[in-house]
Amino acid sequence: MSKISKKQLEANRQNAKLGGVKTEEGKAVSKYNALQHGLLSKQVLMGGENKKLLLDLEKRLRNELKPATEIELLLVDRISANIWRLKRALGFEKDEVISEYEGGLGLKGDADLFFRYEIMLERSIYKALHELQRIQAARMGEKPLAPIAIDVDVSKE
């Protein structure tokens, strides 16, 4: 690796100070980066999370759901990953409630977006579980459930 001059080093330091979000609009958008990259990340385990707890969850779900084929195992892995993400979301929610209670900024008016993430994760868990049950029933020679789980929304929205 080549050495850089003191002049270049100082220029790099000055440039580093210029980065980052400056406007209130930009800050309002960037505050959700942690949610997006934490809740919806393709990577299941995030920095600081306990890998052993995730592996224990996966092991318990595999014992409970008893996948016998690669497809079944894939569905169980998807279920465990989304349960892990949902637990993370519930932790974020708890932190936000505490923050708001203590006078912090919190999510406040933008909470709808946050709760949509939770609902999306729950639906994904139920969908994978339903498909797993269908595949296992067919494998055992039973009549599989209907191919689509229908959620009835009675809200006026």
pTM metric for this prediction = 0.62
**CA 68/CA 126 separation, integer angstroms:** 19
Residue 74 lies in a domain: yes
> Can you say how many angstroms the Cα of residue 88 is from the centroid of all Cα atoms in its chain?
7
Q: In this predicted structure, what is the pLDDT of residue 10? A: 84
The conformation of residue 147, written as its DSSP 8-state character, comes to S
Residue 138 lies in a domain: yes
What's the domain count of the chain?
1
Which stretches of the chain score pLDDT less than 70?
Answer: 1-2, 19-22, 26-42, 93-111, 148-152, 157
Q: In this predicted structure, what is the pLDDT of residue 61? A: 97
Residue 60 lies in a domain: yes
Domain that holds residue 102: 51-147
Q: pLDDT digits over 74-114, tens only?
A: 999 999 999 999 988 887 766 666 566 555 555 555 567 77
Q: In this predicted structure, what is the pLDDT of residue 4? A: 80
Contacts of 35 (CB under 8 A, 6+ apart): 92, 113, 114, 117
Residue 10 lies in a domain: no
Q: In this predicted structure, what is the pLDDT of residue 90? A: 81
Closest CA to 139 of 78, 84, 83, 75: 75
Residue 3 lies in a domain: no
